[in-house]
């Protein structure tokens, strides 16, 4: 946020100077501000893509530690003393109820019963 504010202030000053007087120095300031904005934008895009990749990876999300343990902090690192859990492929925890292939047990058709 602080970096963005600095770039925004510099960009505004550079554009104001350019609008009053077109010269090599003012053009260079605008070019520098544009370059800084493009660099910040590229970092934001990379960060967003990495977050999307992590959020889309079920295994990463499963192994991620997202809170405090019962005793408080784990020495400043969320992974200290923690072993990653693995869920067997066919366990109850591995079921994806949002999958179109998931059948609720009560939804199965039984002979002689009509479903309302």
Residue 77 lies in a domain: no
Tokens 């079920």 belong to which residue?
58
Residue 115 lies in a domain: no
Q: Taking the model in full, what pTM does it have?
A: 0.48
For the stretch 14-70, pLDDT in tens is: 999 999 999 999 999 999 999 999 999 999 999 999 998 888 887 777 777 666 655
Please tell me the predicted confidence (pLDDT) of residue 29. Answer: 93
Domain range spanning residue 56?
1-65
Residue 102 lies in a domain: no
Residue 107 lies in a domain: no
Calpha distance 10→34 (Å, rounded):
10
């Amino acid at each position: 946020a602080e970096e963005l504010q600095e770039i925004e202030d510099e960009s505004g000053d550079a554009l104001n100077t350019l609008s009053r007087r077109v010269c090599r120095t003012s053009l260079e300031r605008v070019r520098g501000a544009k370059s800084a904005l493009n660099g910040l934008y590229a970092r934001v895009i990379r960060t967003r893509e990495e977050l999307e990749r992590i959020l889309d990876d079920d295994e990463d999300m499963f192994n991620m530690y997202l809170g405090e343990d019962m005793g408080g902090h784990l020495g400043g690192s969320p992974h200290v003393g923690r072993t990653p859990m693995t869920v067997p492929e066919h366990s109850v925890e591995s079921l994806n109820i949002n999958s179109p292939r998931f059948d609720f047990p009560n939804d199965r058709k039984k002979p002689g019963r009509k479903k309302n």
